[in-house]
Amino acid sequence: EDKVVQSPLSLVVHEGDTVTLNCSYEVTNFRSLLWYKQEKKAPTFLFMLTSSGIEKKSGRLSSILDKKELFSILNITATQTGDSAIYLCAVEVAGGTSYGKLTFGQGTILTVHP
């Protein structure tokens, strides 16, 4: 059975801190790993990673994938209160009837205090 595990489950920091969120996975036929941010409603897309060792960056957020060790990290530097959200990691598998289906981790609840 495909499995995605995120850690920590929750994290409380102060503005300006740097945080690292972890995601490990065990799936058959890995295709991609995605990070989403969920505030009140819809998860919003952050990154899609398919290749090992290539960092993706968007402003203060960055992410990298290690396909040998089966994990990814999401870094947020100089955190702001607006970064408070649930961060979701999901893995997509390739081939057969499962193609396109995302398996999600439990999420990391990040709280940033002023």
Partner 1 sequence: GAGVSQSPSNKVTEKGKDVELRCDPISGHTALYWYRQSLGQGLEFLIYFQGNSAPDKSGLPSDRFSAERTGGSVSTLTIQRTQQEDSAVYLCASSLGLGPQHFGDGTRLSIL
Name the residues that contact partner 1, by CB under 8 A.
34, 36, 41-45, 48, 88, 90, 97-107
Question: SS3 for 59?
Answer: coil
Give the nearest distance from C-beta 17 to partner 1 in angstroms.
25
Question: SS3 for 82?
Answer: helix
* Closer residue to partner 1 (CB): 38 or 75: 38
CB-side neighbour CA atoms (13 Å) of 40: 1
Give the nearest distance from C-beta 79 to partner 1 in angstroms.
23
* Closer residue to partner 1 (CB): 79 or 108: 108
Give the nearest distance from C-beta 105 to partner 1 in angstroms.
6
Q: Does residue 111 contact residue 10 with C-beta atoms inside 8 Å? A: yes
Rounded-to-integer distance, Cα 59 and Cα 55, Å: 13
